[in-house]
Amino acid sequence: MKKSLASLLAGLLALGSFASAGTAAENNGRGKSPELFTGASPISITGQSWKAPAGGGSEDKVYAYLESVKGSLHLSSKDNIRGKFQITEQKVNSKTGSQHYRLSQYISGIPVYGADQTLHIDKSGNVTSLLGSVVEDVYQTLPQPLVQLKTLSGAEAISAALKDATQDYGPLGEAQVTPAADLYYFIVAGEPKLTYKTEVNVLEPEPLRIRYFISAEDGSVLFKYNILEHLTGTGTGVNGDTKTFETRLSGSTYQLYDNTRGNGIVTYTARNRTSLPGTLLTSSTNVWTDKAGVDAHTYAERTYDYYLQHFGRNSLDNNGLQIRSTVHYYTSYNNAFWNGAQIVFGDGDGVTFTQLSGDLDVVGHELTHGVTEHTANLEYYGEPGALNESFSDIIGNSIEGDNWLVGDDIYTPAIAGDALRSLANPTLYGQPDKYSSRYTGTSDYGGVHTNSGINNKAFYLAAQGGTFNGVSVTGIGREDAVQIYYNALVYYLTTSSNFSAARTAVIQSATELFGAGSPQVTAVTKAYNAVEVY
């Protein structure tokens, strides 16, 4: 059997110019690969029109044209053209009077997947073009009569696809579209295989729309690909600014789902309840109005990008971990948190906080807790807990990078210039700035949010420089400083590290990155001297 597939080149040149559309299928970003349509070569026939014979209906003209090029369609003079090609759709352009037809090639009453054509007739009744694909020589070489080896039902094919998707992704959520199974001949290595085309379309455990080609003979997966798209959406954030971000289109619905970063960044809404992750945020257009969702999604993307660009880190676990965010948690909830699996944002009460996803350094702070969990895993109590909070402040603030304040975009919205914490001057917001002033009680898990100011101040002095507590520090810049502190977090600190251990870790990290006796080592050493950590 001849396994190659012909474009309709031979015999069609007399009709006008012939332009090849190239390979059988382009990689269009949807997960398709060139192997999908190896059974059909694209054609494009335009130019000189074909004059239809007088009389007969419009469909008669279509088949008369196909009859005239039967040889180029690899049919014998005895073949019934109407049995090999069927019209699947007809439309009329009311502005031009042109008629447009969609056709498919058939084998024994079953369509050949990808062997589709469009044929166009102008208002005078002339065929002006034929576009599409055709399978070559299939009728002459197939056994006659064709034996159909269909043994599976459509329902069994759907089950086979679901089983395969579950193996790849885990337990699947509710189908978003009722699955169907359509029977085709699908060309595999030049051979037509009786095949069911079906889809797995779910939102959990992540948004999926996987198209499957299941063998009707044995239920094996002949081909599959994910057809969800990522797009660039726009929306207004909590503070009224316009942002752009990646989304996906599933059917006619846009989703706050970015599949361009790691294993995805996906944003949900709890709808003022406490169930997590909640409901995937969707929109009928790609212009978004959920301000909290816009900021949570955009700032998660920016945090991912910062870690990748500055540290070469692929998401929180350095292995592409999917970043999930949920906004609108509970009612007037004045907090944001990382729960070990995802980040969660309250809407605030409008007095102490506005919507907490509206500040990049807050989003970066919470996601850095995820990085800490996958690296040093600092215990969330006492001095290790204060370091845990401090490293989140340090890196979150560095991602935003426009000042030394944390939470200034969402804290006390009626008070201009206010913030939750300051790395430059922790005492402005009730934090100690040196070890002798540390909190020693048991509230706040041993002062995790309070004593973080000590390590924050050391970072600020190392980066910015200045004289504090009788010690003068020459700053090394934020970038060198954050590289040192990140390196210390990932490679040096442990679950139980205290402030003294952090000093040693940061100095060793600076030595590793910049060398003993370097200005960077001197800066961090003096910075810890200034905050009385030895």
Residues annotated as catalytic are 366, 449
Q: How many CB atoms lie within 10 A of CB 79?
A: 15
Q: What whole-number distance in Å separates Cα of residue 437 and Cα of residue 1?
A: 86
Helix, strand or coil, per DSSP, at residue 106: strand
Task: Name the nearest CA neighbour of 336 among 311, 372, 364.
Answer: 364
Q: In the block, which residue shows the tokens 């924050």?
A: 456
Q: What whole-number distance in Å separates Cα of residue 28 and Cα of residue 175?
A: 25
Q: What whole-number distance in Å separates Cα of residue 87 and Cα of residue 383?
A: 74
**Residues linked to residue 197 through DSSP beta bridges, in sequence order:** 182, 213
Helix, strand or coil, per DSSP, at residue 27: coil
Cis ω before 205 (30° cut-off from 0): yes
DSSP 399-430: HH-S-SEESTTTBSTTSTT--SEESS-GGGGT
Structure tokens at 364: 């970066």
Task: Name the nearest CA neighbour of 512 among 534, 480, 471.
Answer: 480
Task: Name the nearest CA neighbour of 105 among 127, 143, 137, 78.
Answer: 137
Helix, strand or coil, per DSSP, at residue 307: helix
Q: What whole-number distance in Å separates Cα of residue 486 and Cα of residue 390?
A: 12
Structure tokens at 170: 């885990």
Q: 319: which residues sit within 8 A by CB, 6+ positions away?
A: none
Helix, strand or coil, per DSSP, at residue 469: coil
DSSP 185-252: EEEETTEEEEEEEEEEEE-SSS-EEEEEEEETTT--EEEEEE--EEEEEEEE-TTS-EEEEEEEEETT
Q: In the block, which residue shows the tokens 């970063």?
A: 261
Residue 406 contacts residue 397 (beta carbons within 8 Å): yes
Q: What whole-number distance in Å separates Cα of residue 530 and Cα of residue 458?
A: 7
